[in-house]
Amino acid sequence: MDRYCVFGNPIAHSKSPEIHTAFAAQTGQELAYERCLAPLDGFVDAVRTFIAQGGKGANVTVPFKLEAVKLAQALTIRARAAGAVNTLVFSDDGIIGDNTDGAGLVADIVNNAGVPITGKRVLLLGAGGAVRGVVLPILEHRPARLVIANRTVAKAEELVEQFAALGGQGVVSACGFDGIEGDYDIIVNGTAASLSAELPPISPSVFAPGALALDMMYGASPTVFLQFAGQHGAQLRDGLGMLVEQAAEAFQLWRGVQPATADVLHHLRSRL
């Protein structure tokens, strides 16, 4: 039976085995998917051991997504753009690194929430790895504008410079939280503020009528950001859909089959 796993440290909390086991049952694929706790200083050795034992592919989570870039012998365009790898494909040609996070976010917005990105005004809050991974997939849907707002403006400006050459010329711009102007159709919180139950310092005026507010974090109850957005009329989504959709993208890469996500997402939601 083909083996897959997710590498991380810590890893016991990961929902990936549950998600991929459900995808396999749904699509009739014979595979085993497990959690792999890699030592903080032993990620590369852990991956090579897994390959030697017959592993076919792996997901990568915190804190190894940057190390996975160096380990990969080839990177997809979106992995190169993200500067991080969350999916490894072990092939005859070696280790291929990909990043499915941005595709997962876009699929959740467009397919699950039913909100098109094309022609819309999009605001990304934060400029760290989580945001970096979603810029290119959003740009591929041709938004009217994409603004990256961050506490440290220079970090956001670095992203703008990088992505201007990848279809963002004249579309993507940067500012500080206090420099956000106008309102937006889609607002994505990619900061770590929700981990400490804090709110990014944004004005309620950023939410256009009927706007979609999405927080990359998820939990049993809405984050502080989503509560704030809801008070100002936004429709709300947390990061659980993104998690399931990025997994579906990885599953398709490994198995050549696109799983349906709705039932899996519903099941996970019921167990939060």
126 known ligand binder = yes
Name the active-site residue from 56, 65, 70, 120: 65
Strand partners, 90: 95
CA atoms within 13 A on the CB side of 15: 22
21 known ligand binder = no
149 known ligand binder = no
- Under 8 Å between Cβ of 76 and 99: yes
153 known ligand binder = yes
| β-pair type (184-189, 87-91) | unpaired
154 known ligand binder = yes
3 state SS of 207: strand
150 known ligand binder = yes
| β-pair type (87-91, 94-98) | antiparallel
101 known ligand binder = yes
45 known ligand binder = no
CA distances from 259 to 77, 86, 189, 193, 230 (A): 23, 19, 27, 32, 31
15 known ligand binder = yes
Strand partners, 89: 57, 96
1 known ligand binder = no
162 known ligand binder = no
Alpha helices for the chain (secondary structure H): 16-27, 43-52, 65-71, 77-82, 101-107, 129-139, 153-163, 224-231, 240-255, 262-270
| β-pair type (55-60, 2-8) | parallel
70 is catalytic: no
182 known ligand binder = no
**Binding-site annotation, residues:** 14-16, 61, 86, 101, 126-130, 150-155, 216, 218, 239, 246
**Binding-site annotation, residues for NADP(+):** 126-130, 150-155, 216, 239
Catalytic positions, written as ranges: 65
